[in-house]
């Protein structure tokens, strides 16, 4: 079970201290996208001041003697001047639009990113993953895999100790609820307790994932997502599947065959 949490933690560990390298995709694009693209983004009917911040060449381009972003020089960058300005008529995003000032953390990130050279990144989906170096940690006997190193490094940095591993009864109960939404049966608990092999937990995960209840669990999530939209929008099922049939075997079978994905599902508004 620890493993599931690890992935989540590892993602936030990567953030590290403020002086660490600021990354465009992780730290900057979300700020620009949420706070600036409404007026300086791809939509040319809504664009203000002819400034685009979603395209590198435009964001760094000449605006008549100055530029929004001057790599390496936050103080010369109009973007930084505008987000830090105490003059509400100049500050971005504009007060008249009802937007609140950027937080000091957002301003710090933008400033450090420009200081560090304002490197743009392609969309993450086009960047081949690379394996990072394992961080130094206080207790090398704790990790079981490389992701654990990142978790431990973050715990060390926060002055925290790892929680003790849950006992086997707790583990099988958690993973059963997680994957199928159902508790384990007493014989399943007994079998897990008797299995002393190192792969005992993996075997339980494999068994649960092979179960039709795993399909039901995944389909339920998918249906939840579909029905939260169904008041404002109506949802059409992929061809050949009736979404709201009382017996959900169609959906479960489709989920098991991985047919229910946004790619082959048509949404109508």
| Chain positions contacting ligand HEC, by CB under 6 A | 35-36, 38-40, 48-49, 51, 63, 68, 78-79, 82-83, 90, 92-94, 97, 99, 102
Q: How far is the CB of 157 from ligand HEC (least distance, A)?
A: 30
Nearer to ligand HEC, 25 or 211 (CB): 25
Q: How far is the CB of 69 from ligand HEC (least distance, A)?
A: 8
Nearer to ligand HEC, 43 or 139 (CB): 43
- Quickly count: other Cβ atoms within 10 Å of residue 130's Cβ: 5
- CA angle, corner 88, sides to 84 and 92, nearest 5? 50
Q: How far is the CB of 77 from ligand HEC (least distance, A)?
A: 8
Nearer to ligand HEC, 101 or 174 (CB): 101
Nearer to ligand HEC, 32 or 223 (CB): 32
Q: How far is the CB of 68 from ligand HEC (least distance, A)?
A: 4
Q: How far is the CB of 116 from ligand HEC (least distance, A)?
A: 17
Nearer to ligand HEC, 42 or 132 (CB): 42
Both tokens assigned to 148: 């654990």
């Amino acid at each position: 079970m620890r493993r599931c949490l690890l992935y989540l933690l590892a993602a936030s560990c990567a953030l590290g201290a403020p002086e660490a390298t600021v990354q465009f995709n992780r730290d900057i694009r979300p700020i620009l996208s949420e706070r600036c693209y409404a007026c300086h983004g791809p939509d040319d009917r809504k664009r203000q001041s002819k400034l685009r911040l979603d395209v590198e060449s435009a964001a760094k381009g000449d605006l008549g003697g100055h530029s929004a972003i001057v790599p390496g020089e936050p103080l010369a960058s109009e973007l930084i001047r505008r987000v830090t300005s105490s003059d509400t008529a100049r500050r971005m995003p504009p007060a008249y639009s009802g937007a609140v000032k950027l937080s000091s953390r957002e301003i710090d990130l933008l400033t450090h990113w420009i200081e560090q050279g304002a490197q743009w990144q392609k969309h993450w989906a086009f960047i081949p993953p690379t394996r990072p170096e394992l961080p130094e940690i206080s207790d090398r006997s704790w990790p079981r895999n490389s992701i654990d190193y990142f978790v431990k490094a973050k715990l060390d940095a926060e002055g925290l100790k790892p929680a003790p591993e849950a006992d086997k009864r707790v583990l099988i109960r958690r993973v059963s609820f997680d994957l199928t939404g159902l508790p384990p049966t007493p014989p399943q608990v007994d079998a897990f307790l008797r299995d002393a092999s190192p792969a005992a937990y993996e075997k339980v995960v494999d068994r649960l994932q092979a179960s039709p209840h795993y399909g039901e669990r995944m389909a339920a999530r998918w249906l939840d997502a579909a029905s939260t939209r169904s008041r404002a929008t109506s949802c059409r099922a992929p061809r050949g599947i009736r979404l709201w049939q009382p017996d959900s075997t169609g959906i479960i079978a489709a989920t098991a065959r991985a047919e229910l994905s946004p790619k082959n599902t048509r949404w109508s508004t």
